[in-house]
Structure formats: structure tokens, C-alpha cells
């Protein structure tokens, strides 16, 4: 069995990884390690840089991810700055920024990267499209979940049980893609 560290400060992300990757025969453990997130407009670049920085520090057998909420009427903001926007503005602040906007379209994006001994690096990204609601709804999930309603549902992410959310969410899609790529590499090794 391979032990893989999920590097995140968000326990909600760890639960989503555990839920989706349990069938691979890998044991996931939580590790909180700070690494520099470069200033760029693409999540994939942030993840690539994070992988290299952590490998240069001697870490191996780990997964990182970066996610962002991209709101069309705000030119893609908060995007790669979503964690900062959540800390400083919160859901209420984002709602006030787009108050009165007719175009409430948005998408979440997730990019996952890993470095696992004998399997090399894997990077995969996925999106989920939807709209920003007019008020917060639901008490599950984390981050901007209470204000994001995916196109496939009438509920916000915060109103959808985790197993259902994983079927349609940006992270669920990215994790399933990651699962397939990791499984292929494990079969070849």
C-alpha cells in the first residue's frame, strides 16, 4: 500500500480526496505544509510551481490542488485569488460585488498535481459551470459553496450531500480524472 500525503490546510478537501480515491489501495494522510503560490492567472501554473517547490524541499508521495471561483461579470475574479478573497471578503462580499448584475455566470476550476515515487508527476484540471446565487444557501461544504449553484442542479454546493456533490463538482471531476491517470500508471509499474 502506498501512503500519500494530501497537502492542504482545508480538511474539507481531504474528505473529498478520501471519498474518491479509496478504491486505489492508497492510504491518504493529511499534511499541512506552506508553499509559495505564485501570482499567475492559471491554476495549473500555481500547481506546477508548487510541485517543483515541494519536490526541491525533499517531499515525495504527495498530492496538492488549487481551486478557484471564476465569476464572468468580474472578469474572472476571484480566480487564483479565491482563498484570499474568501478570507477578506467572504461570500457576503462577493455577493455585494455582483449585486444588481444580470450576468451571474461563473465556474469553479480545480487543478490537482501529484508526485509519487515510481509514478512520476501527474497534473489534471477540471471545471464545473454554474451561477452565483443572490444569497447564501446551505450549510454543508466550505468556501464559496453556499453561493455557487452548478448548472446540473437547483441547489448550491452547500445544499448538496458530499457524495452527490462529488459527482458534479470541479474537484470531483478533477479527482476522477486524477484517479484514472494514477490507476494507469500504477498498472504499468
SS3 assignment, position 98: coil
163 is known as an active-site residue: no
Check which CATH number belongs to the domain holding 145 and give it.
3.90.950.10
Q: Which three cell numbers stand for residue 114?
A: 501529484
pLDDT of residue 49: 95
Residues 26, 4 contacting (CB under 8 angstroms): yes
Q: Can you list the pairs that 73-77 forms with residues at least 24 positions away whose Cβ atoms lie under 8 Å?
A: 73/98, 73/101, 73/103, 73/104, 73/105, 74/98, 76/41
* pLDDT per residue as tens, the chain (189 positions): 788 999 988 877 888 788 778 778 888 999 999 888 788 889 999 999 999 999 999 999 999 999 999 999 999 999 999 989 999 999 999 999 999 999 999 999 999 999 998 899 999 999 999 999 999 999 988 899 999 999 999 999 999 998 899 899 999 899 999 999 999 988 887
Measured distance CA(114)–CA(137) in Å, rounded:
33
Q: Which of 41, 60, 65, 66 is catalytic?
A: 66
| Sequence-ordered strand ranges (E) for the chain | 2-7, 26-31, 62-71, 78-79, 105-116, 120-132, 148-150
> CA torsion sign, 82 to 87 to 88 to 89?
positive
Show the domain range for 151.
2-188
Q: How many angstroms separate the Cα of 77 from the Cα of each of 84, 104, 162, 173?
A: 11, 12, 26, 22
pLDDT of residue 187: 87
Tally the domains of the chain.
1
In this structure, the chain runs to a length of 189
Amino acid at each position: 500500500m502506498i501512503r500519500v500525503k494530501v497537502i492542504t490546510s482545508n480538511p474539507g478537501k481531504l474528505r473529498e480526496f478520501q471519498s474518491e480515491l479509496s478504491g486505489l489501495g492508497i492510504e491518504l494522510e493529511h499534511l499541512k505544509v506552506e508553499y509559495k503560490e505564485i501570482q499567475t492567472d492559471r491554476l495549473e501554473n500555481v500547481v506546477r510551481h508548487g510541485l517543483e517547490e515541494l519536490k526541491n524541499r525533499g517531499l515525495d508521495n504527495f498530492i496538492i490542488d488549487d481551486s478557484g471561483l471564476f465569476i464572468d461579470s468580474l472578469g474572472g475574479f476571484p480566480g487564483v485569488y479565491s482563498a484570499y478573497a474568501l478570507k477578506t471578503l467572504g461570500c457576503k462580499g462577493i455577493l455585494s460585488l455582483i449585486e444588481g448584475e444580470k450576468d451571474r455566470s461563473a465556474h469553479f476550476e480545480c487543478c490537482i498535481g501529484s508526485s509519487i515515487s515510481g509514478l512520476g508527476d501527474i497534473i489534471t484540471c477540471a471545471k464545473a459551470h454554474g451561477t452565483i446565487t443572490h444569497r447564501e444557501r446551505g450549510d454543508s461544504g466550505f468556501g464559496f459553496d453556499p453561493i455557487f449553484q452548478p448548472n446540473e442542479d437547483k441547489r448550491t454546493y452547500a445544499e448538496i450531500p458530499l457524495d452527490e456533490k462529488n459527482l458534479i463538482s470541479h474537484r470531483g471531476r478533477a479527482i476522477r480524472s486524477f484517479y484514472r491517470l494514477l490507476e494507469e500508471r500504477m498498472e504499468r509499474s
